[in-house]
Amino acid sequence: MRDDSSGLGAALRVEQSLYRGEGVRYDVLPIYLYEGEHLYLHSNRLGLKFRIDPERRFDVFVSRRLESSPVERVPSSLAGMAIRTTESEAGASFEQRFDWGNVFVEYLRDTSRTSGGSEARLGLSYVEYRGGFRLNPYFVVSARDAKLNGYYYGVAASEATAERPAYSAGGGLNGTLGFNVRYELSRDWHLFAGVSATRWAGTVRDSPIVENRALQLAGFGGFAYEFEPATPRGWEAHTPVFVKILYGRSSTCNLLPIMEGRCGTLATDEKTSIAAVHLGVPFYENPDAWSFVGYVGLLRHNEAGLQPDFWQADAYMKVFYWGFPWRHSVRTRVGFGAGLSYAQAVPFAEAQSQAERGRNTSKLLQYLDPTIDVSVGDLFGSKKLRETYFGLGVSHRSGIFGMAQLFDNVNGGSNYLYTYVEWKM
């Protein structure tokens, strides 16, 4: 990616499951990308990068491990066992570039108190450009400790049966050989794919809940659209900033009926509410029709005494369209945002809805933000307020129909209907 750019897309990951009897696993991975001079977001990893020189770089990051046991269609080998969930990690990496390729080392440790384990990786990679293709073969050796392997592939004494004895998976070395390719359809649209083969440590392959195969095969494919500022910008050049203040209440309606105007009720038993401040920076703007804006926000949940109140952080890209026939008299914007949402606790409305349907929850979920607003200045004939907007929106958290390991395979979520004021500084 180019510096100071963002991207959105999606990928489908397919792999032979390690768990005995599960077969092939499909995983939808939403692609959220941002590449700044010092900050980056690569779907399941958010990091700070420090360039020592053109050939060396040091990163610190937080990430989500895309590893878990199945939530639905649980094979008989796992029947009665506790679900192994996706964990959050913190880590550091160092990369050295050579003429023949790159070498990197990184260390990751669980920070979510899920496994309590850690992993160290050593990797070699090479990048070559041929026409519109970017070719990237790589090889990675990883050393996982007993806590990490034991959490995902061990069997506790309380989970043991006659066919599934208790098992403690120790630490060990894995090796992965892979090949990735990216094709640039245009300056902004990219297709990408990859295949890999992993040899797992014997201590994992010998587990009674694991298929003892020589290699685990996996692949992925997807697309992404990259947003880039229309002109190079720096904060010293007074980058425009959107400030959005919102307040809303939980709703029992699903997102699509709300967007279609078929459901606008706030009739919930819990009567919980939210208040938030979001800040946005435009990446592209066409004065007559549409724009892309990147937002970060801090949201406060008022749980009405049902559980302690807590904070939520949101980050998303949003497209606005206002090219309606009446735009010169009253500018009306329709917007749709997509990104990530992390809450300190699972919102009560979310937990209640999921419990009623016997489904799991996650603090990290997909965030969607559909809105409609009008220019206050156009309504009241004030040029000073033309870039001030009043509108309605939906703060939506959910998984992707239980198909995304990034979100713990959650199927469901919550909706909050809100009103807001937004202005450009």
**Domain CATH number, residue 353:** 2.40.160.20
Same domain (yes/no): 244, 317: yes
Same domain, 186 and 202: yes
Tell whether the model's pLDDT for residue 236 goes beyond 70.
no
Q: How far apart are CA 268 and CA 273, in angstroms?
A: 11
3-state secondary structure of 91: strand
Q: Considering its fold, how many domains does the chain have in total?
A: 2
Q: What is the mean pLDDT of the chain?
A: 92
| Residue 50 and residue 159 in one domain | yes
- Token readout for 53 is 């020189």
Same-domain status, 382 and 277: yes
pLDDT digits (tens, 9 = 90+) for 133-162: 999 999 999 999 999 999 999 999 999 999
Residue range(s) defining the domain that contains residue 139: 5-227
Both 17 and 67 in one domain: the answer is yes
239 in the same domain as 223: no
Q: What is the pLDDT of residues 42-73, one digit of tens each?
A: 999 999 999 999 999 999 999 999 999 999 88
Q: What's the confidence (pLDDT) of residue 235?
A: 44
Q: How far apart are CA 216 and CA 25, in angstroms?
A: 12
Q: Which amino acid is at 312?
A: Q
Q: Are residues 217 and 255 in the same domain?
A: no
Query: Among the three residues 209, 227, 245, which one is the final residue of a domain in this structure?
Result: 227
What whole-number distance in Å separates Cα of residue 166 and Cα of residue 253?
45
CA distance linking residue 297 with residue 244, whole number of Å: 9
Contact between 325 and 371 (Cβ < 8 Å)? no
Q: What is the pLDDT of residue 233?
A: 47
Q: Do 387 and 404 share a domain, yes or no?
A: yes
Locate 385 and state its tokens.
């307020």
pLDDT of residue 232: 45
Indicate if 258 and 209 belong to the same structural domain: no
- Which two tokens mark 193? 């794919």
